[in-house]
Amino acid sequence: MERVQNDQILKLIVEDFIETAEPVGSQTLLIKHNLPCSSATIRNIMASLEKEGLIEKPHQSAGRVPSAKGYKYYLQRLKESNNTYEVDDEFKKEFSLILNKRSKTVEDVMEKSCLILSEMTNLATVVLGPEANQDDLASIQVIPLSKKSLTAIIVTSRGYVENKTFVLDSNTEVDDVKTVVEILNKRLIGTPIEEISSKLDSLKPLVTEMVGERTNMIMEAFTEAFLKFAKKRFETYGAGKLVELPEYMNDKGKLKDVIDLLGNVDKLQEQIDDLDDVDINLNDDSDTAIVTTNVNINGKSTRRLAVVGPRRMNYRKILASLDYIAKTLESYYAQEDLEDEDE
């Protein structure tokens, strides 16, 4: 019975702190939630929770806030309880608008999903694409922008798209890039993405012989693009929203920690890779949390979605929203596959 009472008070402290960003006191709990016990009983329970390391007292405050250990305990109980959060209708409406636009890449859909999620939560969102060793080159296409600039669109066998914009020097023409791309398409389609950079090196003499020395810059640009492309694909959205959160407005050190994490691809990659399909990472040494889920595209490719922000985030809302996005997109792309088979 005591454990049940303690868990209930911890849950209220965590959820009140998530809502208000203010330390929670016994009197506040008693009045706000109309609890059937005295303020002294609540103080005793809070003292017990503090002794367990589940809550802590901030500097110069009479209230208490959840500790990293307290959040982890709360989240474990949240996963065990089927205490679901209903995704709001506005979010569903915005999300359905994305899928109603038929001409779009997977990347467009994932980007807009992240932007909507960031707007809804006021947190940063991240999308991580499939590993390069899952992909082969499907095509390189060229779209001229002007006489001296163009965009090359790289498409993989699993539908991943990457753009590379070229601004040409005075010795190079758009037609030179088109010729190089024709050669690359003939020689490289079907090649694993992770092998393309080395194959580009071996093709340089052939391209130089056919087009001329002026193509060296073009080949170097493609080599740079594929080196970047061969890494796990990472895009971050809404990082600027974190500045508006109370914990980061009042503590520039905490803000620097989370911005540095979002800017450090390898470190963020490592932390996300350590998580399961649907999982949460709470950093013990910083006020940062990561919530992730996988989105399966046609059963062939996986995108990883993550929400990044302070420990004080609405986990019920975020977990439910990520679950809704994942299930909706998986159903959507499965339906597209069936439609393709029927045609």
Q: What is the bridge-based pairing of β-strands 149-156 and 161-167?
A: antiparallel
Q: Cβ distance 160 to 132 under 8 Å?
A: no
**How many Cβ atoms from other residues are within 10 Å of residue 141's Cβ?**
13
CA distance 332 to 107: 14
Quickly state the pLDDT bin for 299 (edges 50, 70, 90).
low
Mean pLDDT confidence for 292-311: 85
Quickly state the pLDDT bin for 230 (edges 50, 70, 90).
low
Quickly tell me which residue has 């965590």 as its tokens.
14
What is the reported pLDDT for 168? Answer: 77
pLDDT at 8 over 90: yes
3-state secondary structure of 143: strand
pLDDT digits (tens, 9 = 90+) for 118-147: 998 999 999 887 666 667 889 998 888 887
**H/E element, 309:** strand 301-309
pLDDT at 231 over 70: no
pLDDT at 38 over 70: yes
Mean pLDDT confidence for 280-309: 84
What is the reported pLDDT for 177? Answer: 84
pLDDT at 55 over 90: yes
Among 73, 101, 134, residue whose Cα is nearest residue 315: 73
What is the reported pLDDT for 225? Answer: 76
pLDDT digits (tens, 9 = 90+) for 174-211: 888 888 889 999 999 999 887 888 888 888 888 888 88
Q: Cβ distance 305 to 326 under 8 Å?
A: yes
Residue 312 CB partners (closer than 8 Å, separation 6+): 17, 18, 21, 66, 247, 287
Percentage of residues in the chain with pLDDT exceeding 90?
31
Quickly state the pLDDT bin for 295 (edges 50, 70, 90).
confident
| Tokens standing for residue 27 | 């009197």
